[in-house]
Structures are given as C-alpha cells and as structure tokens.
Structure 1
Amino acid sequence: MRHLALGCLLSVGLSASAAPVPDSYVLKAARLFDAKAGRLVTPGMVVVTGDKVAAVGPGAKAPEGARVVDLGDATLLPGFMDAHTHLTGESGDDWRQDLIDSFQRTIPERTLEALPRARVTLMAGFTTVRDLGGADDIDLGLRNAIRRGLVVGPRILTATAALGTTGGHCDAGNSWRKGLLADETGVGVADGADALRAKVRERVKYGADLIKVCATGGVLSLNADVDSPQLTQAELDAIVDEAHARKRRVAAHAHGAEGALRAIRAGVDSIEHGSFLSDEALDLMKQKGTWFVPTCMAFQGVKERADKGQLPEDNVRKIRAVQEARRQALKKALARGVRIAFGTDAGVFTHGRNAGEFALLVEAGLSPVEALRAATVNTAELLGVSASLGTLEPGKLADVVAVPGNPLQDIRKTEAVFFVMKEGVIHRHDAGATPSVAR
C-alpha cells in the first residue's frame, strides 16, 4: 500500500510538472484606450506573450494555449505612471508624532513600512513611478528589490536624496536647534556651483536614475517662504549641465516665480508644483518644452490635513497662500499648451490615492482624454521610457490596467482599478474568474 501511495504521488507530481504552463494572455474588455491616438477602441483586446504586448485590437489573433481573461464592461489602459511620489514616507494624522517617529524608527523599520506603500500603489494601477526624494537609500533598496522580484510594487525611477542649499527646502536640518542632529544638513545639501556639481556626481555614483533639486521654498518645510528662490542661476546651471552630461534628467521642486524661472532657464526637464509660475516662466516653458507636473493631489492632501488641524500653523499659512495662485498658474499653463505630466506627491497624502489626480486635472480644465494621456504617454516621455512603456503597442512591456465602464464619460472610474498586470504578470484581478484557455 505504501508503494502504491508513493506511486500515486509521483504520478501526480510528474503530470503537474509536465503540463504546459501558458505564458500568453488574451485580455478582453468592452473597450481599450489608445493613449497614442487619444481615443477608445471597441472592443478592447490585448494579446500578451511573456512580458510583452504581442498584439492589440479586435483583430488580434489569440495564440493557442493562451489564457483568455474577459473583463466585461471595462476599459483596458496602459499602466498608469506617477512622476512624483515619495514611497519611503507618509504623513500621519499628527505632525508631532511624525517627528517623534522619524527619530525613533530605525532604517530597517522604515524600509519595511515602505513595502505596503509600494504594493498599494501598484494595486491602484500605477505600474511605474518616479520617486523624488528618499532618505538613507531606502528608495534605492526598494527599487532594486522590486526589480529582482523580491517584493511587489511599481517600477521605480528614483532621485535618491534631493539637492538643495543650506537652509533650503531640502535641508534636513531645517528648524532644529544647532547641535541636535548628527548630520546638520543632509547628503544632498551644498552651496556653490562646483559643490552642487559634485553632489550630482555623488548621486549618480550611488545609483540615482535622475536628479531632483529644490529651487524654491516649500509648503511643508518650516524655515522659508514658499516662494523664495534658493539657488543662484549659476548653481542651477551647474546642476543641470552635470546631470544631462551624465544622461540624467532633472526635476525641479519650484513654487516661486523667480526660482522656477531660473530652473527653466537652466534647462530642467520638469517643474514640480509651480504654484506661482509667472507669465514669463510659462512662456519659457512652452518655448523650451519643459514639462509641468502640477501635483494637484498634494495640495488637496495638505488642505485636508490643514482643515483637520494636523499641521503646524506656519504650514497652514503657506497652504492658504498658494491655493488660488496655483489654480491660476495651472489654468494659464493649459491655455498656453504647456506640456502636462501626471504627478501627485504621494506621501504628502496616503499612498494608493494617486488616481485622485485624474479628476483634479479634469476639474482644472483638461479633458478626460488629456488627463489619461498625462498619466501614460506624456509621463512616459518625461521619464524617458517611451520606447517600452506608455502605450499598448506590440513590443512594449505588458503593463495593463482595467477600470469599470468608460473613463471618458466618468474620469473617476480611474479610482476603481480592478485589474493590474505588470510585465505580463497579473497582480490584481478582483473579478476572480478563472481565465479560460484559447484553443
């Protein structure tokens, strides 16, 4: 009897291992968003082989043995992209407790805390993100672990530590008494063109995919006006020149008009936030093709926290000061045809709410098509990954998401992603139906 049982087990094991495991999928839905053309295709179909898109459109042929996933009355879209996140941090309900936690929690603890943030971001449909500032190389470790398949999360392009000047928005020692911190500034802080050029080289040396610079004050720092310029023209010129020489793009945190103008003149690839962008700055952005990442969700998130009394009064004052100005700046940018990319500043608000940016962009004046393109083809171009991402086309990586219904009729459908595929691997499928096999 013992030999019979063992034989049965071996037989089961052999038959299971011998069964062919299809590496192809046929994704079907009522419609598909063609991000390149900016239109819907009906019905929607994407054929995936391995980690790549093999064919798209209703006439695509299903390979024999492919798994058919019929998502019904839904829309297939390219995986969403967020050009401004901070996966290694997240604001809590009490800013005082956040400060205490920043001193008490070890690097391993903060690394582990980043894992669910990465996962929830992917499950929200964001298969690629640009992380614009993290501490202690946690962002680098997270990026590398996701690449190796050790943890689940979006593809990450990271800036590592942001660059800034002494006492500026990206100076970690802001508002602390002298001598309290072992590192009074931070790894990205320097003064003068040559010193900041060296910081670019250092960030590249340690693995940065791009460079972030804080060109002005910020809403959530405590020692500077939100619109104050914080680098000279020579300093910004040096940063951008060195970054571009090293084939790294540059994102500039910039609220104030003068600081943003200096950054645009220097040739940064994107302006983040842009609360007080002047007509001159916007005209120059249009002329140079500078991307604007308005981060509407960041302002929404900090306003929510301010209304609940969860921020220091100095920060609340800054929030009130930028509210109307940033709306007008975005309105003027849209009227001029300045290029818009999708970024949220997730971490300022709870990770996983990234898709809320779509409705805010539409509210600001973009059409639903333009908002969807901002998070796909536009951001892919900003990030320099258009060859492999941003649209559903044969040969590109199979990053596919699905939302119920028609997002062109209701842009908030983007907040209800129920299917997520990244590089041919299904990470979310709420429908729960067992895929059939094409024959």
Structure 2
Amino acid sequence: MTHNFIPCLAAALLLGGPAAFAQKTYLHCGHLLDVRSGRLLAQQTVVVEKDRIVAVQAGYAAGGPQDKVIDLENRTVLPGLIDCHVHLESSPSRNSFREQFTLNPADVAYRAQGNALTTLRAGFTTVRDCGGSGVNTSLRNAVAQGLVPGPRIYSAGVAISATGGHMDPTDGLSDFMMDKLNPGPAEGVANGPDQCRQAVREQFRRGADLIKIASTGGVLDLSKDGSGAQYTEEEIRAIVQTARDLGMPVACHAHGAEGIKRAVRAGVTSIEHGSLLDAEAIQLMAKSRTWYVPTIIAGKSVADTTRQHPGYFPPVIAAKALSIGSQLQATFGRAIKEGVRVAFGTDAGVYRHGQNALEFGYMTEAGMPPIEAIRSATLNAAALLNETANLGTLEAGKLADVVALDGNPLQDITTLMHPSFVMKAGEVYVNK
C-alpha cells in the first residue's frame, strides 16, 4: 500500500485536502499558571489546533514551516477567565428605567454586542448572562455561529420572580400600567408552583441554558425592599425540580437571609449576591455545597454611585443601594472563612462592562488568596457551568481559551485588569 502514499500526498497538498498538515499555533509562554497546583511553570509551550489545545510542553517547542508561533515569552499565561454573572443587554445609566420604554429589541441587541466584545477584550472568554429580554439568547447564538465576536455565552433568557419581585417589569408603575401590562410566566412573573413550572418551561422552550430566579427583592428595581423573602420554599422547589428534569441549573438572586435559606434548602445551584447572609445561611450553603457568586463590585458600585452622585438613582433605589450594596464585601469575607464554594461573578451591566477584573481585588481585600480568586474564575466557574471537560485549565483537550498578562497576578492581582493577549477557541482577539 505504500506505493500510493506520494500521489495521495500530492493530491492532498494540491487540493488543500485534510492530510495531516493542519496548521497549529505554538504559544511560547514565559510563565504558565497551573491553576490546579497554583504553580507558575517557566518556559512552556501551548500547542493549539483549530479551537482546542492539543499539547502543553515544557520548553519552547516549534512545529513545521506551516505552523505559527506566538511569542508570549515575557508574559504570564493563564486560562481564559469566566464571569458567571453578567447582563450584556444592560449598561449603567441615569436613564435605565426610562430605556425600558424607549429602546427597541434591535437597539438592545446592538448595545449588547458591543458590551460582549468589550468583555472578551478584557480577558473574559466565557460568561453566564443571568437575565435579559431574550436578546441575550439571540446574542449567544450569533456568537456561537461566528456572526459577531464575543465571549462564549450561557444564557438565562428572561429571569423569573414573583409579582412585585425583582423581575416584575411593572414595579413602580401606575395602577393603570400595571393592569395594562399584567406580566405572567412568559414575561418572567410567576406565582404558585404551577406558574413557576410554566415559567421554567417557557425559558426552556426559548432556548435558555439555565434558569435564573429571584427569591428576594433587588436593589435596582423600584420595589420598596430588597431583603424580604418573595418565594415560598414550595415555589422554589417546583422551579428546581422542573429545571432539573429539563437538564438546567438554577441560579438564584437573593439578598436577604431567609430567601437564601429557602432557596438552598430547595436545591438551587447557586446563590447570586447573598448580601445579607447570616451565620445559619452560610453554614447551610457550606453543607449543601451550594455555589456562591458574590458580585462584590456591583454592591460597591451602586453604593459609591449613590454617595458620589446624588439623584443618580430614584430615592427608593438609593436607600437600598446604601443599606444592602455596602455590606457585600464583608459578607463574602465571612462566607469564605466557612468554606462556601465561590464562583466568580460581577453583575456587569450594573457597572461598566470591561471592568470585570476589579472583582479580583475586592475578593483579595476580603481575605481570599490571589490563587483562589483566580480559581474562582477558572476551575470553579467551569465546574459551576458543568464544563470542566472544556474550560478552566490549560490542558490538552480543552478549548483554546488563553489570556496573557505583562505581570504576575499572584503577586499583583491588578495585572488581571490589563490582559495583553486574549485567545478564544483558538482565535486571537487581543495581542498587544
């Protein structure tokens, strides 16, 4: 059979066929952060073929003449970062409430795509969008199809809460408007176990990857209180069981302790924010292995904006921003001391997109070691997404999501704010 090798080789070369000559990219890494061990490995080569890492080798290896070498020899290389709580459709503005009535879906889509690209360039190659209008799911599809650049998106579609809850779009409106709009399960407003099941199925039908609910009120809605429990444990359990049947995790927005405890007992996958966690709730989360996505930057941002820019928020929001938002960092510090599992998330959209890495500094200020903060946005975040086979480390077989920095993040966590190289699925988006 060997007499056929040369003609077949020539034909493959002439026709651009799939012979074993696909171009590989060799990333020469001055230091590579092994997030599993926490060690920096000197002079490593990451070999990328198409969208996957095919090898990680000691020393600076090179392939054939058809292959490409990228020099990262003066940089620290680590896996692409994952933000488990963003809102790509949103941007902070004094006009946020009014924009609900003035922006068309196309307006929202163009803004969301810009926010997505900004996020990718900031080194976040994967995000979990925790609630929007449904544009978030369409944007996920457009990115996956290569129509627009952006991070890999896991979309919650439209988030779900009770009447008067965080996702009720009629909060703060006149009685006439409340009656006129009258949102139901399809719009993310559900009461009682049956409507809660219907709301989950609606988001499944629309293609969501996960379910996002609110078991308490929120800060940036026009309801008067963000801390009280707003779903019964029975309602949350109906959501969790329905979502589990459909293969979907449940992320739960919650500030107040009682709403958190009900959600954890009902089996949600993660608690988002958790601003007012008490000792019992922290212990319950640690025992149940419930993920905590803290979003410290969001709490700081709304509290700081309220203090520095009087009138930026309506009075009802400003009061909640000061009473709830300012407590988040201290709460996070208590939670990590008790062993609660943490996945990185920021609530981008509450603050300006692209500043996501500020969260690392707030986490370390609260007592988390830098390597653990980085793990929260790599190993842990991949585990929360159930994507450890594809994301979270630089290893053969994983998607080629790679970030490089000009400094050492274990010594200076702020270097994560300024990635000088970003690759997602083998494609380079930043190389300064």
Deviations 1:112-138 (A, max 9, x none): 111110100000000100000011x21
Q: Counterparts in 2 of 1:160-199, with a 5 A limit? A: 160-180=157-177, 182-185=180-183, 187-199=187-199
Deviation at 1:184, TM superposition (A): 3.2
2:104 aligned to which of 103, 106, 112: 106
1:284 pairs with 2:281? no
Q: Describe the SS at the equivalent of 1:27.
A: strand
Deviations 1:162-191 (A, max 9, x none): 111011111111000123265333611111
Match of 1:268 in 2: 268
Q: Describe the SS at the equivalent of 2:350.
A: coil
CA distance in 2: counterparts of 1:290 and 1:224, whole angstroms? 28
Superposition TM-score, scaled by structure 1 size: 0.90
Deviation at 1:322, TM superposition (A): 2.0
CA distance in 2: counterparts of 1:30 and 1:237, whole angstroms? 49
Q: Counterparts in 2 of 1:366-377, with a 5 A limit? A: 366-377=368-379
Q: Which moved more, 1:394-403 or 1:307-316?
A: 307-316
Amino acid at match of 1:332: R
CA distance in 2: counterparts of 1:220 and 1:165, whole angstroms? 16
CA contact (8 A) 2:299 2:327 kept: no
2:317 aligned to which of 312, 315, 318: 315
1:139 pairs with 2:141? no
CA contact (8 A) 1:369 1:408 kept: yes
Q: Describe the SS at the equivalent of 1:149.
A: coil
Superposition TM-score, scaled by structure 2 size: 0.92
Q: Which moved more, 1:387-396 or 1:33-42?
A: 33-42
Match of 1:156 in 2: 153
Match of 1:404 in 2: 406
Deviation at 1:22, TM superposition (A): 6.0
Match of 1:329 in 2: 331
Deviation at 1:49, TM superposition (A): 1.1
Amino acid at match of 1:274: G
Q: Which moved more, 1:77-86 or 1:99-108?
A: 99-108
CA distance in 2: counterparts of 1:70 and 1:404, whole angstroms? 13
Q: Describe the SS at the equivalent of 2:378.
A: helix
Match of 1:8 in 2: none
Deviations 1:323-369 (A, max 9, x none): 45323321221111110100000000111111111111111111110
CA distance in 2: counterparts of 1:81 and 1:296, whole angstroms? 16
Deviations 1:17-69 (A, max 9, x none): 99x99631111222111112222111232111111001113247433232111
Deviation at 1:391, TM superposition (A): 0.6
CA contact (8 A) 2:260 2:281 kept: yes
Q: Counterparts in 2 of 1:2-41, with a 5 A limit? A: 23-41=23-41
Q: Describe the SS at the equivalent of 1:317.
A: helix
CA contact (8 A) 1:421 1:427 kept: yes
Amino acid at match of 1:210: L
**CA RMSD after TM alignment:** 2.0
1:361 aligned to which of 352, 360, 363: 363
Match of 1:128 in 2: 126
CA distance in 2: counterparts of 1:216 and 1:254, whole angstroms? 5
CA distance in 1: counterparts of 2:346 and 2:327, whole angstroms? 18
Match of 1:435 in 2: none
- Highest relative contact order (Cα 8 Å, sep 6+), 1 or 2? 1
CA distance in 2: counterparts of 1:374 and 1:100, whole angstroms? 35
Could you list the runs of 5+ residues in structure 1 that have no partner in the other structure? Answer: 1-14, 431-439
Match of 1:72 in 2: 73
Q: Describe the SS at the equivalent of 1:48.
A: strand
CA distance in 2: counterparts of 1:153 and 1:164, whole angstroms? 28
CA contact (8 A) 1:46 1:60 kept: no
Q: Describe the SS at the equivalent of 1:173.
A: coil
CA contact (8 A) 1:178 1:184 kept: no
Match of 1:87 in 2: 88
CA distance in 2: counterparts of 1:409 and 1:184, whole angstroms? 53
Q: Describe the SS at the equivalent of 1:179.
A: helix
CA distance in 1: counterparts of 2:379 and 2:60, whole angstroms? 22
Structure-2 change in CA distance of 1:196 and 1:60 (3 Å): farther
Deviations 1:298-330 (A, max 9, x none): 112212321222212222211221245323321
CA distance in 1: counterparts of 2:217 and 2:224, whole angstroms? 6
The percent of aligned pairs where both chains have the same amino acid is: 44
CA contact (8 A) 1:172 1:184 kept: no
Segments ≥4 residues shifted beyond 3 Å: 59-62
Q: Describe the SS at the equivalent of 1:118.
A: helix
Amino acid at match of 1:298: A
Deviation at 1:373, TM superposition (A): 0.4
CA contact (8 A) 1:44 1:75 kept: no
CA contact (8 A) 1:79 1:390 kept: yes
CA distance in 1: counterparts of 2:329 and 2:297, whole angstroms? 12
Could you list the runs of 5+ residues in structure 2 that have no partner in the other structure? Answer: 1-13
CA contact (8 A) 1:39 1:369 kept: no
CA contact (8 A) 2:44 2:59 kept: no
1:413 aligned to which of 412, 415, 424: 415
CA distance in 2: counterparts of 1:304 and 1:116, whole angstroms? 25
Q: Which moved more, 1:59-68 or 1:260-269?
A: 59-68
Q: Describe the SS at the equivalent of 1:242.
A: helix
Q: Counterparts in 2 of 1:331-346, with a 5 A limit? A: 331-346=333-348
Amino acid at match of 1:157: Y
Q: Which moved more, 1:31-40 or 1:206-215?
A: 31-40
Deviations 1:222-254 (A, max 9, x none): 113121100001001100111111110000000
Alignment length, in residue pairs? 412
